[in-house]
Chains A and B, each alone.
Chain A
Amino acid sequence: MDIKLPRLAEGVESGTVVNILVKEGQQIKKDQPIMELETQKAVGSIPSPESGTVTKIHVKEGMEVAVGQALIAIDVEGDAVAAQSAQSNPVAAQKTVSERAQPAPPQTERPGAIQDQSVAHRYDAQSGAPPPAAPSIRKIARELGIDLTRVRGSEAGGRIVLDDLRAYIDRLQRLAFEAKAAAAEAPVDTGPRPAPGETMDFAKWGPVRREKMAPLRRTVSQRMVQSWTTIPKINQFDDADITALLALRKKYAPAYENGRARLTLTAFVVKAVAGALQKYPRANSSLDEAAHEIVYKDYRHIGIAVDTEGGLIVPVLRDADKKSLLEISSELHGLTERTRARKIALEELQGGSFTISNQGSIGGAHFTPIIYAPQVAILGIGQGAAKPVVIDGKIAARMVLPLCLAYDHRVLDGADAVRFLREIIHGLESFPEAEVKLN
């Protein structure tokens, strides 16, 4: 049987093979990982659905594979007869396997010609009549969702017959296969870049080293360009006095440690942000441009930007507004650990409605984060530091946390944004001890 790439998560249609963990002829057990696959933001392993012997590996490392595509073929255990006959007649067995594995065999001879034939054709009659095809053929096309104006008819007057429909589907499959193969070899278009002729020869000025962008890097790059070029963004700066908050943290941190959680500043911010989002739901919304509607979400799933070796990844902490500080603390810890180890599930990276990016542990003051579309706002946190602050006419040393709220001006106006940010700051400056206390 062929093991095909299963559905990984909503909206994820393909991935790149990073590592093949089995060899042809190898005995494998059910649920044993057969390969590692890198999708938009995570690397995951694909388990075998059955025990058996690997007879054929259909993919190569670096190849992009789509959901439903055959990855490897195995002889299932217990199916001894089949396995035996396969051994006694290796040619036939191999033929069957390759036939099944490649419903659309890559045609390497003349890919250009294929493209010309199938993509360029467009039926357009001056009379406005639909493409000539019998009602029975039109019914099949309708059922398969095929646009007959794309199909070239081979009969007199350009009439489309069943063979033409078959040939068209065949070509579509081949093209899809070639596109994937090409994608695995060539870097993905990441948006605006110098035309090929303008590529700089950096080596003129000294030795250089080139490194392929990892899929994750490419995804980050695409997302950032998309956000930067489509969202009219405003940055709102402010500071929070977290002297009292840090005292609370110091007081309760040991208790949290006992509860196997780390009471971090981020946990407090998540809690404060969740509260503020409840009061200002627009900051938790998305824009549906096509419908001219603002989509308000009745959940507050907070994305947390995590720095990993491979680059930026944003896992999502769900229903932050319904969780206690302890729950948030322990969940945050787990999420970041799994993200850094690249063991995070794809589902855990999806559905965020607001994002927090905390660079404070590394350093730095105010910075302007990029909005994680389709969200409409993101909070950037710098490093808290002791600063002189005027209180009641006197200068005092206080711990000050630099904050920046970047927001989408299509959805939020300046006044909304300031009110929302002040609400977060208020939440941090007067964080109720009752919420920190463990029972």
Chain B
Amino acid sequence: MEPIKSEIVVVGAGPGGYAAAFYAADRGKQVALVELNPRLGGVCLNAGCIPSKALLHATAILRETKASAARGIELGQARIDIEKLRAWKESILEKLGQGIKTLAQKRGVQLVYGRGHFEGSQTLRVETAEGQQFINYDKAIIAVGSKPAMPSAFDLGNRRIMTSTEALEIPEVPRDLLVVGGGYIGMELGTVYATLGSNVVVLEALPSILTGVDADLARPVTRAAQKLFKEIRLNTKVVKMATAGKQIKVTTQVGDEQRDEIYDRVLVSVGRAPNYIDLGLENTRVIKDDKSFIKCNAQQQTDDPNIYAIGDVNGGALLAHRATREARIAVEAMFGEPSAFENIVIPAVVYTDPEVAWCGLTETEAKQKGVEIKVAKFLWGASGRALTLDRPDGLTKLIIEPETERILGVGIAGAGAGELISEGVLAVEMGATARDIAESVHPHPTLSETLMEAAESFYGTATHALSKPAA
């Protein structure tokens, strides 16, 4: 095949890669987008954000239905058609994947399907179905993302031991499911399977689930999960796994005590690893940081001046929206503009039930760094809207700089927290004060009022709570 000459080549068509390719094309650059998977969209669309949220929404209806009986509306026994659920989820992915492809084609972005391999700082070889395709480029953006980590001790080649990628396919609803790792992926997928009927046991090596999330925000999730799951076992390690007929024998250890248990399936959700194996980075000047992610500067440029890296592959918070923001920065930097990653906050959302969302400084972080803060809280039990939704299990809190009353961080636990957090993001990015939020009129009755009331409680004047000024 004739080598292609392209001004920019983007390797990986996830939310970082395709955003970068589109933005560069919109600004008049000639762009080639390389993707291994026939459906564009990366992990986010194919094996992450989108399928997990589809399943979480579908299963949330089941829980709602059950809770509905107590409110006087009984819907009878629900019937679950896994195949139909899978097909519905798949149709969403297909629709979105096609959408990205159309957007790429309309912009004149050249799509090259196959595994990319750097031959040097300005040449990429792509193993396409038709043979080797060389691409000579001026600048490259690496956006190859990450994949679920599978410790070699668990990697028995047994399909009953799954990562999130396989679990999202819902091959079956196992009777007993072990989730190894109580992070957000384990908790979200545990919620899906438990609702579908599995007995879910979550094992977490650390003393709490959702490590890093403030304890008061994690508490409503823990409480709900304790009801929904069979068990959440903390401070517990998995020593070994072995195939036991059609099941998996799992040896766990708490303190010095070991015990064997039998599960139908195991979900391993212990973190994610960057996807640059076989990318040919050794032929470039790209180097890795001490956590084995690709090292890059505030302009997303790696140690190879022709190569930029965005998204999961460069570490930090492995979140699609961070990759998308970095895509813009990398392209602007290529245009020689003074762009830099200077966003103060990257919001994070855990789509458990209830959800947890936060942005900016957390209470935990402030404590670790010894930063002096004031915390203003509002419990959802006092929110009219939360009660009408039958979801009083929520909490909204603001992390405030004492001297200036500036909002440094926002944390929300409760139904729809993921949608509510954006007001917090705007407040922190804009340098808003607690007064700014307290004096902005929020519509009634909504859950967003909890942000206003939390701000009011900072001054000891929340309407629906008896609060003293924040200590």
> How many chain A residues touch B (Cβ–Cβ < 8 Å)?
21
Within 8 A of A (CB), among B306-344: 337-340, 342-344
Docked-complex contact B405 and A142, CB < 8 angstroms: no
Query: A158 to chain B: which residues have CB within 8 Å?
Result: 404, 406, 431
Question: Of A127, A133, A138, which one neighbours B401 at CB under 8 angstroms?
Answer: A127
Docked-complex contact B342 and A128, CB < 8 angstroms: no
Q: Is A132 an interface residue (CB 8 A)?
A: yes
Query: B373 to chain A: which residues have CB within 8 Å?
Result: 127
A142-B338 CB under 8 A given contacts A133-B431, A134-B429, A156-B436: yes
Docked-complex contact A132 and B361, CB < 8 angstroms: no
A134-B433 CB under 8 A given contacts A143-B338, A157-B401, A158-B404: no
Docked-complex contact A156 and B405, CB < 8 angstroms: yes
Query: A153 to chain B: which residues have CB within 8 Å?
Result: 431
Question: Of A126, A143, A156, which one neighbours B433 at CB under 8 angstroms?
Answer: A156
> How many chain B residues touch A (Cβ–Cβ < 8 Å)?
25
Q: What is the bound-complex CA distance between A128 and B401, given in angstroms?
A: 11
Q: Is A437 an interface residue (CB 8 A)?
A: no
A187 to chain B: closest CB distance in Å? 39
Question: Of A127, A132, A138, A145, which one neighbours B366 at CB under 8 angstroms?
Answer: A127
A156-B435 CB under 8 A given contacts A128-B369, A129-B401: yes
Query: B239 to chain A: which residues have CB within 8 Å?
Result: none
Query: B338 to chain A: which residues have CB within 8 Å?
Result: 142-143, 145
Query: A127 to chain B: which residues have CB within 8 Å?
Result: 361, 366, 369, 371, 373, 401, 408
Q: Is A130 an interface residue (CB 8 A)?
A: yes
B72 to chain A: closest CB distance in Å? 48
Q: What is the bound-complex CA distance between A128 and B372, given in angstroms?
A: 11
A138-B342 CB under 8 A given contacts A129-B361, A157-B401, A157-B433: yes
A1-13 Cβ-contact flags toward B at 8 Å (1 or 0): 0000000000000
Q: What is the bound-complex CA distance between A418 and B394, given in angstroms?
A: 84
A contacts with B: majority SS: loop
Q: Is B149 an interface residue (CB 8 A)?
A: no
A194 to chain B: closest CB distance in Å? 45
A128 to chain B: closest CB distance in Å? 7
Query: A133 to chain B: which residues have CB within 8 Å?
Result: 431
A126 to chain B: closest CB distance in Å? 6
Query: A131 to chain B: which residues have CB within 8 Å?
Result: 431
Q: Is B69 an interface residue (CB 8 A)?
A: no
Docked-complex contact A132 and B404, CB < 8 angstroms: yes
Q: Is A297 an interface residue (CB 8 A)?
A: no
Q: What is the bound-complex CA distance between A51 and B435, given in angstroms?
A: 61
Q: Is A125 an interface residue (CB 8 A)?
A: yes
A151 to chain B: closest CB distance in Å? 12
Query: A142 to chain B: which residues have CB within 8 Å?
Result: 338-340, 342
Within 8 A of A (CB), among B414-471: 429-433, 435-436
Q: What is the bound-complex CA distance between A135 and B372, given in angstroms?
A: 25
A96-134 Cβ-contact flags toward B at 8 Å (1 or 0): 000000000000000000000000000001111111111
A356 to chain B: closest CB distance in Å? 42
Q: Is A159 an interface residue (CB 8 A)?
A: yes
Query: B401 to chain A: which residues have CB within 8 Å?
Result: 125-127, 129, 157
A259 to chain B: closest CB distance in Å? 52
- Minimal Cβ-Cβ distance residue in B for A135: B429
- Minimal Cβ-Cβ distance residue in B for A145: B338
Query: A159 to chain B: which residues have CB within 8 Å?
Result: 406, 430-433
A422 to chain B: closest CB distance in Å? 45
Q: Is A46 an interface residue (CB 8 A)?
A: no
Query: A135 to chain B: which residues have CB within 8 Å?
Result: 343, 429-430
Q: What is the bound-complex CA distance between A134 and B343, given in angstroms?
A: 10
Docked-complex contact B342 and A134, CB < 8 angstroms: no
Q: What is the bound-complex CA distance between A153 and B372, given in angstroms?
A: 21
Q: Is A332 an interface residue (CB 8 A)?
A: no
A41 to chain B: closest CB distance in Å? 35
Docked-complex contact A134 and B431, CB < 8 angstroms: yes
Docked-complex contact B435 and A129, CB < 8 angstroms: no
A130-B361 CB under 8 A given contacts A125-B401, A156-B435: no
- Minimal Cβ-Cβ distance residue in A for B406: A157
- Minimal Cβ-Cβ distance residue in B for A155: B431
Q: What is the bound-complex CA distance between A125 and B344, given in angstroms?
A: 13
Docked-complex contact A128 and B431, CB < 8 angstroms: no
Docked-complex contact B361 and A157, CB < 8 angstroms: no
Query: B433 to chain A: which residues have CB within 8 Å?
Result: 156-157, 159
Query: A145 to chain B: which residues have CB within 8 Å?
Result: 338
A157-B369 CB under 8 A given contacts A127-B361, A130-B344, A132-B431: no
Q: What is the bound-complex CA distance between A131 and B433, given in angstroms?
A: 13
Q: What is the bound-complex CA distance between A128 and B366, given in angstroms?
A: 10
Query: B429 to chain A: which residues have CB within 8 Å?
Result: 134-135
Docked-complex contact B369 and A129, CB < 8 angstroms: no
Docked-complex contact A129 and B430, CB < 8 angstroms: no
- Minimal Cβ-Cβ distance residue in A for B431: A132
Query: A129 to chain B: which residues have CB within 8 Å?
Result: 344, 361, 401, 406, 408
B344 to chain A: closest CB distance in Å? 6
Query: A132 to chain B: which residues have CB within 8 Å?
Result: 404, 406, 430-432
- Minimal Cβ-Cβ distance residue in B for A153: B431
- Minimal Cβ-Cβ distance residue in B for A138: B342
Q: Is A245 an interface residue (CB 8 A)?
A: no
B427 to chain A: closest CB distance in Å? 10
Question: Of B339, B372, B405, which one neighbours A126 at CB under 8 angstroms?
Answer: B372
A164 to chain B: closest CB distance in Å? 12
* A131, A143, A153, A157 interface centre (most CB from chain B within 10 Å): A157
Docked-complex contact A157 and B405, CB < 8 angstroms: yes
- Minimal Cβ-Cβ distance residue in A for B337: A143
A140 to chain B: closest CB distance in Å? 10
Query: B343 to chain A: which residues have CB within 8 Å?
Result: 135
Question: Of B342, B366, B372, which one neighbours A130 at CB under 8 angstroms?
Answer: B342
Query: B372 to chain A: which residues have CB within 8 Å?
Result: 126
- Minimal Cβ-Cβ distance residue in A for B429: A135
* B339, B430, B435, B436 interface centre (most CB from chain A within 10 Å): B430
B150 to chain A: closest CB distance in Å? 36
A140-179 Cβ-contact flags toward B at 8 Å (1 or 0): 0011010000000100111110000000000000000000
A137 to chain B: closest CB distance in Å? 9
- Minimal Cβ-Cβ distance residue in A for B436: A156
B422 to chain A: closest CB distance in Å? 14
- Minimal Cβ-Cβ distance residue in B for A129: B408
Query: B436 to chain A: which residues have CB within 8 Å?
Result: 156
A219 to chain B: closest CB distance in Å? 35
Q: What is the bound-complex CA distance between A415 and B408, given in angstroms?
A: 64
B298 to chain A: closest CB distance in Å? 11
A398 to chain B: closest CB distance in Å? 61
B348-376 Cβ-contact flags toward A at 8 Å (1 or 0): 00000000000001000010010111000
Q: What is the bound-complex CA distance between A156 and B408, given in angstroms?
A: 14
List 3 tightest A-B contacts by C-beta distance, closest first: A132-B431, A157-B433, A157-B404
11 A/B residue pairs, CB under 8 Å, sorted by A: A127-B361, A127-B366, A128-B371, A134-B429, A135-B343, A142-B339, A142-B340, A143-B337, A156-B433, A156-B436, A159-B432
Known: A134-B431, A157-B406. 19 other contacts (CB 8 A): A127-B371, A130-B344, A131-B431, A132-B430, A132-B431, A132-B432, A135-B429, A138-B342, A142-B339, A143-B337, A145-B338, A156-B405, A156-B433, A156-B436, A157-B404, A157-B405, A157-B431, A159-B431, A159-B432
Residues of chain A touching chain B, judged by Cβ–Cβ distance below 8 Å, are 125-135, 138, 142-143, 145, 153, 156-160
